Chain A
Amino acid sequence: METTSRPLKDEYNAFITTIPRADTGPGRLSGIAIAVKDNISTRGIPTTCGSRILQGYVPPYDAHVVTLLKNQGAGIVGKTNMDEFGMGTTTENSAFGPTKNPQDPSRVPGGSSGGSAAAVAAGMVRVALGTDTGGSIRCPAAFCGIVGHKPTYGRVSRYGLIAYANSLEQIGPMAQSVSDISLLMEVLTGYDPRDSTSVNCPYAHTPNPEIRGLKIGVPEEYFGEGVDPRVASLVWDGITLLERKGAEVITCRIPSMAYALAAYYVTCTSEASSNLARFDGVRYGPAADTKLPWHEAFQQQRRSGFGTEVKRRIMLGTFALSSGYYGKYYAKAQAARQQVRNDFLRLFRTVDVVAGPTMPTVAFRLGEKTDPLSMYLSDILTVPANLAGIPAISVPCGKSEGLPVGLQIMGPHFRDERVIDVAYAFEQGVVR
């Protein structure tokens, strides 16, 4: 076993924990320094989810993906900053302070995997792991000018990922190049019996830039109200580049986009209200006062341990699942979710991939967005892929006023290879 020793100068606050001497070994990722988002369990390395309620927690086991990385010789050099429990679009909701965008330190890196994106964008690591519940890999990839891929739901094991919204989230790779995304997909995918939603669908693929005859669906809704015209224009240029390489562009519609964001927020907050009930200070985290009565002790613990946005989402979910409102919110959200899925299944009968912007705007200024609803609305273009469970990649497609813009490519279930090929074709087209 060798060690890679590199002191990390963390000027963007990308890391919560750094490991100055990381073990590496032989394998496909031999000697490669990798950063891991701090909601993925690492044996012996503190894992906080960006929350005070897990300060000091040291997992007794590795997440499946961490075992896979170690088996291939990667050196885990640190745990990256994130919005608390993945709840945010900017990485400002971290108990350990915001991460800055290496492209412009007065801007947010996006979120919630903002630390992973910043670490890659700043060249501190070659590759990183993020997690994507409603865009948390793709948003920071777009804002920081790197590549980020959300795999098909079920393709990467979630064992050891500290859950926020189980039915939506996937662990995925973030990197400077599409080739590195593809390399990590080869390592991360495959069946794991410890995740009951794991599907035996390994990724063994080398990116192929040949896209002649490929049909690209471009939904009107991805260029509608709220999308910055300068962002829209750059993304259209990107799609035109793919057209010049032989792809066919077909405009289309996703009518269920009208409900997608509400369906997403009802679903993720409901799942969060259940998942985050486990943080009570008994088994991990700062200790609860055992002399107080049960509920009083927990409330005291959770008042000081959780940030405002986490409390808001737990309460929204508790409300959406309460007996009088279940039919109005949760049941309707599941019907809307099915419509989103049906819309994509219908589209993929006539097109091979769907393309549009990853985010409606470029990166916000630090502190710019303060009201939660307008923050939620910025996730409108990324949440559909999570609701449908389909693979989606964000690849850099130029800059608007000096800030990166991401082109998003979505594909049918278990066709991660196809969206990666299209991203690769685009990347090659830009470079040449």
Chain B
Amino acid sequence: MVSERDVEHIAELADIGIDKEELAEFTGRFNEILDYFDILDQVESGVKREADLYNVFREDVEEPPLPEDEVLANTREKEDGFFRAPRVM
């Protein structure tokens, strides 16, 4: 069982703002779904996994980037060719 406090904490970690009024509903649904996920407790660990997985990388060579004005076209907050973000500190 997760509590309303837990749900608030998870929302904080995920940078999701949820309203106080939504909290009870969210917590109830959350617990229903987690109860259903408990069926995974019955799954045996150590099932044979794929042995043939490998990473795919391209060659580390320069490719033409999108033009700067197109990259910045979807933001209102820009300055000298940079995105302007909220302050970190």
> Are A332 and B77 interface neighbours, CB within 8 A?
no
Could you tell me the distance between the alpha carbons of A258 and B38 in the complex, rounded to whole angstroms?
A: 12
How many A residues have CB within 8 A of the partner chain?
Answer: 64
4 tightest Cβ-Cβ pairs between the two chains A and B: A303-B17, A297-B86, A299-B17, A284-B74
B49 touches A (CB below 8 Å)? yes
Q: Knowing A60-B73, A265-B33, say if A282 contacts B39 (CB, 8 Å).
A: no
B59 → chain A closest CB, angstroms: 10
Residues of A within 8 A of B39 (CB): 258-259, 262
Does B71 interact with chain A (Cβ within 8 Å)?
yes
CB neighbours (8 Å) of B17 from chain A are 299-300, 302-304
Residues of A within 8 A of B36 (CB): 261-262, 373, 376
Residues of the B chain whose Cβ atoms lie less than 8 Å from the Cβ of A262: 36-37, 39-40
CB of A93 within 8 Å of the partner chain:
no
Are A196's CB and B56's CB within 8 A?
yes
B15 and A299 contact, CB distance less than 8 A:
yes
Contact with A along B62-84 (1 / 0, CB 8 A): 00001000110111110000011
B74 to A, closest residue via Cβ: A284
Residues of A within 8 A of B (CB): 56-58, 60-61, 193, 196-197, 258-259, 261-263, 265-266, 273, 277, 280, 282-285, 287-300, 302-304, 306, 308, 311-312, 314-316, 318-320, 322, 328-329, 331-333, 335-336, 338-339, 342, 371-373, 376
B29 touching A338 by the CB < 8 A rule? no
Q: Measured between C-beta atoms, what is the minimum distance from A221 to chain B in Å?
A: 14
For window 6-24 of B, CB contacts with A under 8 Å fall at 7, 10-19, 22
Q: Are B33 and A283 in contact (CB under 8 A)?
A: no
Closest to A295 in B: B15
Partner of B56, one of A197, A258, A294, A342: A197
Given contacts A61-B66, A282-B75, A373-B32, contact A331 B45 (CB under 8 A): yes
| Closest CB in chain A relative to B18 CB, distance in Å | 6
Contact A315 B14 (CB under 8 A): yes
CB nearest to A288 among chain B residues: B86
